[in-house]
Amino acid sequence: MTPLGIVSEIRRLAVMAAPVSVPGVVANNPDDDHVLACALAAQADLIVSGDRHLLGLGGNYQGIAIVTPAQATQRITR
């Protein structure tokens, strides 16, 4: 698949979400709180990130799994 094809597929699968509030969860990097707020607003099943602060939350935030790109790939190919 071409890069443009990948972007098209992501757009097809994407859900736009506007969080009502942003929780203060990641003290060392408050920008990450926006990722968490969007995931909650979108009722996401998964957050895929290489960010050490997000991954440092123990792999889960309010029932939403937080995984590395490699872990996400493993889940998708199963």
Q: Of 22, 58, 59, 57, whose CA–CA distance to 39 is shortest? A: 22
Instruction: Check: CB of residue 17 under 8 Å from CB of residue 42.
Output: yes
Read off the tokens for 64: 């939403």
Per-residue pLDDT at 35: 94
Per-residue pLDDT at 75: 85
pLDDT digits (tens, 9 = 90+) for 26-43: 988 889 999 999 999 999
Read off the tokens for 22: 């942003």
